[in-house]
Amino acid sequence: MTFGKILDKCNIKSNARGNVGFHSLRHTFVTLAEESGIDRRIIQGVVGHGSPVMTGHYSHDLKCIREIDKMPSLLE
């Protein structure tokens, strides 16, 4: 079953999904797993990547993101 079909079964309409999809969840999982201290090789195996380098592409620096979020909006 595709991620989209799961959302449909949960009555989440396609226009409410925005840019969230299965691929976004992979990025979120890898990022949170690394922030939790799980070894990248373990995460690599869970998500099925061929190398830890590929897994690294899915990880985002949450500390950096949190710091940038402190900046006032340029549109305000």
pTM of the model: 0.65
pLDDT < 50 stretches in the chain: none
| Residue 72 to residues 34, 38, 60, 65, Cα–Cα distance (Å) | 28, 33, 21, 13
Q: Helix 40-47 and helix 22-35: axis angle, to 10°?
A: 160
| Amino acid at position 12, single letter | I
pLDDT attached to residue 18: 62
pLDDT attached to residue 37: 95
pLDDT attached to residue 19: 61
Return the structure tokens found at 1.
Answer: 């079953």
Residue 62 near residue 35 (C-beta atoms within 8 A): yes
